[in-house]
Structure formats: C-alpha cells, structure tokens
Amino acid sequence: MTQWQNTPQEHNGVMHNAYQTHHTMIDTHMAQYIAAETKRQQDHIELIASENFVSRDILMAAGSILTNKYAEGYPGKRYYGGCEHVDQVEQLAIERAKSLFGCAFANVQPHSGSQANQAVFLALLKPGDGILGMSMDAGGHLTHGAPVSLTGKWFNSVSYGVNPSSHRVDMDQVRDLAKKHRPKLMIVGASSYPRVLNFKEFRDIADEVGAFLLADVAHISGLIVTGHHPHPFPYAHVVTSTTHKTLRGPRGGIVLTNDEDLAKKINTAVFPGLQGGPLMHVIAAKGIAFQEASTQAFSKYIGAVCDNAVALASALSDLGYALVSGGTDNHLLVMDFSGSDLSGQTAQHALESVRITTNKNGVPSDQRSYVQTSGLRLGTPAITTRGFMVSDMEIIAQCIHQRLGNLDGPVDDLVKQVEQLCQKYPLN
C-alpha cells in the first residue's frame, strides 16, 4: 500500500469503510443507487482527468450536520444567529487556503469552479465588456467565453487557440488579439491542456493592454501547490480554482487574490451578488483538503500523478496513437483521432464496455462536432489515489489498445484484466 492512498481507518474498534456509508441509510431505494455507484467507482479504472477520490475525513465533513446551517455573509458579519462555530469553520478554511496558495485573500464560498469564475466576472466587468480566453477546442473551459455560456452571451468574447502543429498556446496570437480587442479581462487556464502555462507572459500582455489577468487553475491547482507547475502568483490579479480535481477535495470553488480592493469586490460578488447561503459542510471539507494538500504525502502523490501521466502517454505513443502536443507535462493527456475513423464518442463508449471510464474531448482544429469529437481525454489523478503505479500504465495502455483496435471483438478478457487491477488497488 502506498502512503498517499486513502486507507480505511479503525474507528471505535471497527474498520470504518468511508465508501460504504450507504449501508446504514433508511431510504433503501436511494441507498441502492448510491451503493451501485460506489461499486462502479470501485470496479472501474477512472481516467476522467477532472475526478478524484476524497479522504474519509473529507467525506465525513461533506456529509456532516453543517449542511443544516444558514450562514449568509462572512465570518463575524453574518445575517443569521448561531454562527459562532461555522465562523470558525470558514475562518480556518480561509487561513489554510491563504497559506496553501501563499496569498493574502481567499473566498472559499463558491459552490463550483464555474461560480468562482462568474464571481470574478461580476466583480470586474459590466455586460458588453471584452474578455479574451482560450477556445474550447484548444482546451479552454465553457466559462472562458464559450458562445453557449453566460460568459459568451453577456460579454464581448474573443478566444485564442494553440499553434496548429505544436499544440502549445500561441502567445503571438494572444498578444495580437489583446492589442486588437483591448479586453478588460484576460483568462489563462484550461480543462484539457497537457502542457505548462506561462503566467508571466500572459501578465506582460495584460499589462500592455491594461487588462486584468485571471488564472483559472481548476485542473492544475494540486500541481501548483506542490511545485509541479509554475505558480500563478504574483502574475495573476485573481486566481480561481475548483477544489475537487487534482486538489482532491470536495466539489466546489475558490477565489484568491493579493489585492485588497479586488478581494472586497469579489466577496460582494459571491455574496450577495451570486449566491445565498454558503455550503458550510463543503467549506469544512475544503478546509480539510487544504490541510491535506500541504503535506509531504500529497506532494509525493502529485509527483506520482505526473509520473503516471507521462508513462501512460509514452505507452500509448509507442502503440502508435497520436497525442495532442505529443505528450504531457501535467496530469492529463488527450488522444487525437483526427484523420482516423474513430471518434472520441465511439472510443469513450468502447472503453466504457470494459470498465475504463474516460471522456470524449475536442482537439485543436477539430473537424467533428462537440457531440462526436476527435479526442479522448485521460488523466491519472484518481487512479494514482488508489495506488496505481508507473508499471500499471503499460497494462492500461494495452487494454485501451486492444479495445480500440477491435471494436467488435470480445470484451471478457479485458474486463477480467481491469477487474484484477481494481482488486490490486482497492478503493476504501
């Protein structure tokens, strides 16, 4: 057993399995679905790059009585009585977030990464203002100005892409677009970009055109706090993140800054601008995650996540698969099926039939629709939490290859191999 796994812990003399709590529920109908999902998480190889498995402490906090408490406002300035304990919960989460990211202000209330971004937009922009973010097929997120998102509808959104052959962010294009459109806000950050982002270069361009720079590190925050990716501070004016991806906390968002004036605007934007009562159970769980992420064990875990991603990428390359940008510097990689008969959608479904969970994804200059796509995104955060090692990546690559290379072939042997791997690294 590796030291970064979430091990089952003894509690009052019995082994308390964090992933079996549904056994004691009275609503057996709903419990049955939760039990089925528990089993799915245990029996499948989870390669969705944005997912992870939280610790027992985080699960307990997220399922705690804190869900009962209304606490609109901020610690010491609430609109409800009885907030003395939740004030301590939120203050501790804030202090830990600041210390983990080395910044002066943290808002831990956003219900999700998208709402964290919306708070920044509400704090800094007016409808019709210009924004410049990464396009979705290059790896950007919906909330960076995609036409279907509120951010694309209410703001004047322009997007940059990646170089068509290197698949790296095209900084010349970023500078040209920034100078031409003079956006009020530039966004650096992505959901399916396997390479390092250069925050300093973005800030230099933002300064040239007088824009704010938002770094949305939703995917890479775990890498950032452990030194496996350059830090967005001091370059970004504001940083947002989810807490449930590589950071391995509960589902939620945060907003960070070093600027007191911006911090005030952001707090007002989160509440009362966008949200009502904060989710105190989730905030407690976030606070635990920030503490866990500051440990040596977590640093080793993220190191292993990156090693596994590189190993998986090179095993797939060796088998002849094209990868966006040719490989990875972080926790994810994107298989590129452009020019082949296989679509991302078909690949995702084929792998699902042998219990390997992935998601279809656009690739740079994708010729297929958002439904079909030409890519498949794979990530190693979840399997590394279970204990999967570099030597297992070769086996996973082989399983993927056998399935994608023979879409009508039998699946029994492959399912058995996946079963064996899952049993070798049980999810407790």
Ligand X SMILES: *Cc1c(COP(=O)(O)O)cnc(C)c1O
Residues in the site for ligand X, rule: CB under 6 A? 50, 112-114, 117, 141, 143, 189-191, 216, 218-219, 242, 253
Least separation in angstroms between residue 197's CB and ligand X is: 11
**CB-based closest residue to ligand X:** 113
> Per the residue annotation, which of 143, 242, 328, 358 is the catalytic one?
242
Q: Which residues contact 86 (CB under 8 A, 6 or more apart)?
A: 66, 69, 71, 280, 283
Please indicate whether residue 21 is annotated as part of the active site.
Answer: no
Please indicate whether residue 403 is annotated as part of the active site.
Answer: no
> Per the residue annotation, which of 70, 204, 300, 357 is the catalytic one?
70
**Residue number with CB closer to ligand X (282 or 312):** 282
**Residue number with CB closer to ligand X (151 or 258):** 151
In whole angstroms, what is the distance from residue 305 CA to residue 90 CA?
A: 30
Please indicate whether residue 182 is annotated as part of the active site.
Answer: no
Please indicate whether residue 251 is annotated as part of the active site.
Answer: yes
> Per the residue annotation, which of 98, 168, 251, 300 is the catalytic one?
251
User: Could you count the other beta carbons within 10 Å of the beta carbon of residue 265?
Assistant: 18
**Residue number with CB closer to ligand X (240 or 417):** 240
Least separation in angstroms between residue 159's CB and ligand X is: 13
234 prior amide bond cis, ω within 30: yes
Least separation in angstroms between residue 100's CB and ligand X is: 18
> Per the residue annotation, which of 195, 245, 265, 377 is the catalytic one?
245
**Residue number with CB closer to ligand X (333 or 354):** 333
**Residue number with CB closer to ligand X (364 or 387):** 364
In whole angstroms, what is the distance from residue 300 CA to residue 102 CA?
A: 20
Least separation in angstroms between residue 283's CB and ligand X is: 15
| Residue carrying the six token digits 């409800």 | 80
**Residue number with CB closer to ligand X (114 or 417):** 114
In whole angstroms, what is the distance from residue 424 CA to residue 35 CA?
A: 21
Please indicate whether residue 216 is annotated as part of the active site.
Answer: yes
> Per the residue annotation, which of 46, 216, 329, 392 is the catalytic one?
216
In whole angstroms, what is the distance from residue 117 CA to residue 114 CA?
A: 5
> Per the residue annotation, which of 51, 57, 72, 129 is the catalytic one?
72
C-alpha 390: how far from chain center: 22
Residues acting as catalytic residues: 70, 72, 216, 242, 245, 251
